[in-house]
Every structure is written in C-alpha cells, then in structure tokens.
Structure 1
Amino acid sequence: MNQRVLITAGAAGIGLVMARTFAATGAEVWVTDVDEAVLKTVPAGIRASRVNASDEVEMAAFFKEVKEIWGGVDVLCANAGIKGPTASVEEMPLEEWRDCIAVNLDGAMLAAKHASPLMKAQGKGVILFTSSTAGLYGFPYRAPYAAAKWAVIGLMKTVAMELGPHGIRANAIAPGSVTGPRIDRVFHAEADAKGMTYEAVRDGYAAGTALGKLSDPEDIANMAVFLASDAARMVSGQVLTVDGFTINPDPKV
C-alpha cells in the first residue's frame, strides 16, 4: 500500500514542496492550510483542507475525517509555523508572542496528539516535526520563534519515547535559511530591525554556512521522504539539520 502522508501547512512553501515530493513517490498526500487562496492552487491529486493547526476543535474534526476516508495515516509532517514578530525581548508584544507559540508549538502538539491514536491502532507510523536551526542556536529579535522551535525538539523526543513501543518513529527536521518568499520577508524584517540592507542580511546568512549558500525547499522535502522511508527504520528521536552546516548563526555584516 502506498504511504498516506498528511502535511500541515502543506499548501505553500516548504510544505507544498514536501507534498509534491511525497506524491512523486506514489504516496497519497493530504495537506492542510488556513489560507483558502493557496489551498486552491494545490496540484490535482493532492487532497487539501482548510484547517487551523492551532485550533483543537478544528484539528479533532479534521482527523476524524482522515480516519473516515483513509482509515489511518502513515506519515505526519507537523509543518505548520509562522515567523512571528521581529523585535527585541524588551519590546516584544505579548499577544504576538503567544500567537507565534500557538501556531509553531501548539500546532505541532495537536497534530501529534490526534495522529497518535490512528498510528497506534495500525502499529506503525512516522511523525516528522519541522523545527529550525533557530531551535538549536537561538535567534536574535525572533525570541518566540526560537523558543517554539526549541520546544518542538523537546516535544519530538518525548513523542519518540512514548510512541516507540507502538512502532512509531518521531524525528525533527531543522532547516536553516531556506530560499523562498517567507525567508525574504524574514530578511527584510531583520534588516529593518538591525539597520542593515536586505542584501547584507541575505548574504550574511549564506556566508554563515560552511557551504556558503542557503538551502532550497527541495532539500528539506528530500530529507522528509528519507526519514519516512524504511531506509531510516532505526532513526528516531533525532534532529536532522538541513542547513549547509551553520557555523555562524548570527552573522553581522
């Protein structure tokens, strides 16, 4: 049977590239997103549903639908996340802090919470959390994002321990800076916060890696496909960075 792959925030960006990459392997793919406009652009053959990943009522209803239509799920990519505010801690708006934590951390927990019973019933499954190198090093002016991504790693390791006896593996992928519109917005915001140009911030992040360049969404998607495969059957509880090896997490140029 082809894998049944569920991807939260899978209608755009890294999530959409994951969806296309899994679909290319023959998997059945179902994506969620809160943006109805981008959901309409999801390629034919990939299921798409509007779901707020941080809303438990919506997530519970969605997983009920997944059970009714698919009967279970083999791979969960808990990918929902937002960049959150760009500000120093002393100027951080509490409400924006909470919004960022809700999507990045609560969304990951709710996805794992509701996928777990389906995977336990079938005696197998793979849960992949999207963390970030911000969850390894910290991220100046992005405290709620960094805090949430650190917490996602703790969540992942706990899930791996709890569900391992049921044949379920859990890992986290930690991308560095990944090319695309989202990181461009981050670079512009950081440039404004630091009084730098967009180009200087972008080039500084690229120079902060051993390979001297930013990752592409396909690099993240390929790692997800590997971790979901039998080739990674003994890989669980791990953080896999896909960042060209960050050697300077806070470049100043």
Structure 2
Amino acid sequence: MKRCLITAGASGIGRAMAEGFDAAGFEVWVTDVDATALAACPDHWHAERANAADEADMRAVFAQLDGLDVLCANAGIAGPTALVEDVALDDWRACVSVNLEGAFLAAKYAAPLMKKARSGSIVVTSSTAGLFGYPNRAPYAAAKWGMIGLMKTLAMELGPFGIRANAICPGAVEGPRMEGVLAREAAAKGMTRDQVYDGYAVGTSMRSFVEARDIANMAVFLGSDAARLVSGQVIAVDGHTENPDPKV
C-alpha cells in the first residue's frame, strides 16, 4: 500500500487531502499541532502531534517511516494583516517559519526515503499570494513565494531520482481560517466582512471561493501515476484570480 504524509492534516485543506488519499487507497499519516483535531481523525490514520516548524518533531515523525510515496507539505498560518511598517518582526518570523521552514523540514526528511525508492511526489501548498504581491500580507506573501522557489529547486534536485515536486496555489478557501482573514482585512480596511468576501469573489474569473476538496482533488492527482511527468509546476486552484487586492 502506498503511503502519504500530510502536515497540518487534521483539519481544513489538510484534512480534505487526507480524506482524498484515504479514498484513493493510500495509508495516511497526518501531523498537526491541534490535539483535538487529531483525536477526531479516523482510527486507521496514523495521527501524530508535531509542529511542522520544529525539526526535532519532524525528525521523530519521519523516523517512524520506512518508506513514503507522497508528501503534502501543507502546514501554514495566515500571519498578520497589516501594512509592512506595522508588522512586528516576531510575527514575520512566525509566519515564515511555519509556512516556508515547515515545507523545508518536511522535504528534508522525506527526500532520503523517496530517494531510496527512486520514486515519490512532493506537493507543497503555496497560495495565490505566492503569485502576486499582496497588500497588507507581506510575511505571508513572502513565505508563499519562497515555497515556490523551494519546490522548483526540489524538482531539479530530486528529478534524477524519479521524484516529482509541484506546488498548489489555493485561492480563497471557504472555512474558519479564511473567516479569520476576512475579519482582519475588514478591520484593516474599514469594510464589512461581507464586502471583503464579495471582493475576493469578484476578483476571480469564476466569481467564487473554492472548497478544501478542490485542493485535495489536485493533490491526489499530483500524487498519482497519472501525473508521472508533471513536476516543477505551480498550479493555481482558485477560479482564476484576477485581482490580488480584494475590494468592492
């Protein structure tokens, strides 16, 4: 049975990914910092409490694996919503640490397992913020751009071993995390939550938010043999973002 490990896999996009790979017949491993969400995972999943940005935690998780077919480096936080001059350095570092360093650590420990098998797929969850400059979200955008550079380098380094690497760039995803972003942006811009929500939707060709399952479906495809020659790619699942600065 093929194995998939998803960081931040107990809720949100990560949980949808885990469910997708489970349905595709994979043995599923998830890590998360949320003990309550981990306890709600199905009993047949391997659910481990681990901080994706903590090297000791990640080393301990990967030490339990004797093989890995798919890694979904999915851990991330939204970071502060503020003009760059108002962003505290500690908040910048926290955002970059979880998003970018978390992806780096997962790849660092997945690579030897995949090299041994001379096959594998690494899927990095970036963002449409990794494709555009993003007002009031400097730490998040910088981290997500960095993740794309990391992914492309992984594709080049690991390709000779039969290992692929790709990045998914979700747009605005329905759910609790996005609700927090909407609330903070509304406060920062003097708008209502609904005005900001509508601004995100209007900023896409398809006039819609996306759902976690849309991201999961792409991850499962990238982890499958159907995508055997897809590597080094940045794939947006966002309804086509036209406007990276939502406004009405």
TM-score using structure 2 length:
0.99
Task: Give distance in 1, aligned partners of 2:192 and 2:201.
Answer: 15
What residue is the counterpart of 2:119 in the other structure? 124
> How many residue pairs align between the two structures?
248
Q: Given the alignment of the two structures, is residue 17 of structure 1 paired with residue 6 of structure 2, yes or no? A: no
One-letter amino acid of the structure 1 residue matched with residue 27 of structure 2: E
Map Cα deviations across residues 83-122 of structure 1 (whole Å, 9 max, x no partner). 0111110000000100000000000000000000000001
Aligned ranges for residues 84-95 of structure 1 at < 5 Å? 84-95=79-90
What residue is the counterpart of 2:244 in the other structure? 249
Task: Give distance in 1, aligned partners of 2:56 and 2:246.
Answer: 41
Q: Given the alignment of the two structures, is residue 232 of structure 1 paired with residue 227 of structure 2, yes or no? A: yes
Q: Given the alignment of the two structures, is residue 184 of structure 1 paired with residue 183 of structure 2, yes or no? A: no
Task: Give distance in 1, aligned partners of 2:62 and 2:150.
Answer: 20
What residue is the counterpart of 1:221 in the other structure? 216
One-letter amino acid of the structure 2 residue matched with residue 41 of structure 1: A
Map Cα deviations across residues 167-207 of structure 1 (whole Å, 9 max, x no partner). 00000000000101110110011000111000000011011
Q: Given the alignment of the two structures, is residue 160 of structure 1 paired with residue 159 of structure 2, yes or no? A: no
What residue is the counterpart of 1:133 in the other structure? 128
Task: Give distance in 2, aligned partners of 1:242 and 1:209.
Answer: 11
Task: Give distance in 1, aligned partners of 2:43 and 2:206.
Answer: 36
Query: What is the Cα-based RMSD across aligned positions, in Å?
Result: 0.7
One-letter amino acid of the structure 1 residue matched with residue 26 of structure 2: A
Q: Shift of the alpha carbon at 1:57?
A: 1.2
SS at structure 2 position matched to 1:137: coil
Map Cα deviations across residues 40-69 of structure 1 (whole Å, 9 max, x no partner). 111222110001110111111111112xxx
What residue is the counterpart of 2:97 in the other structure? 102
Map Cα deviations across residues 7-47 of structure 1 (whole Å, 9 max, x no partner). 00000000001001110111110000011111111122211
Q: Given the alignment of the two structures, is residue 32 of structure 1 paired with residue 13 of structure 2, yes or no? A: no
What residue is the counterpart of 2:200 in the other structure? 205
What residue is the counterpart of 1:48 in the other structure? 47
One-letter amino acid of the structure 2 residue matched with residue 33 of structure 1: D
One-letter amino acid of the structure 2 residue matched with residue 21 of structure 1: G
TM-score using structure 1 length:
0.97
Deviates more, 1:243-252 or 1:233-242: 243-252
Unpaired runs of at least 5, structure 1? none
Map Cα deviations across residues 133-191 of structure 1 (whole Å, 9 max, x no partner). 00001221111000000000000000000000000000000000010111011001100
Unpaired runs of at least 5, structure 2? none
Task: Give distance in 1, aligned partners of 2:28 and 2:133.
Answer: 33
Map Cα deviations across residues 196-241 of structure 1 (whole Å, 9 max, x no partner). 0000000110111000100010100000011111111110000000
SS at structure 1 position matched to 2:167: strand
Aligned ranges for residues 142-157 of structure 1 at < 5 Å? 142-157=137-152
Task: Give distance in 1, aligned partners of 2:60 and 2:213.
Answer: 31
Task: Give distance in 2, aligned partners of 1:252 and 1:34.
Answer: 33
Task: Give distance in 2, aligned partners of 1:58 and 1:185.
Answer: 27
Question: Percent identity at matched positions?
Answer: 63
Which runs of structure 1 show a deviation greater than 2 angstroms over 4 or more consecutive aligned residues? none
Task: Give distance in 2, aligned partners of 1:167 and 1:158.
Answer: 14
One-letter amino acid of the structure 1 residue matched with residue 79 of structure 2: G
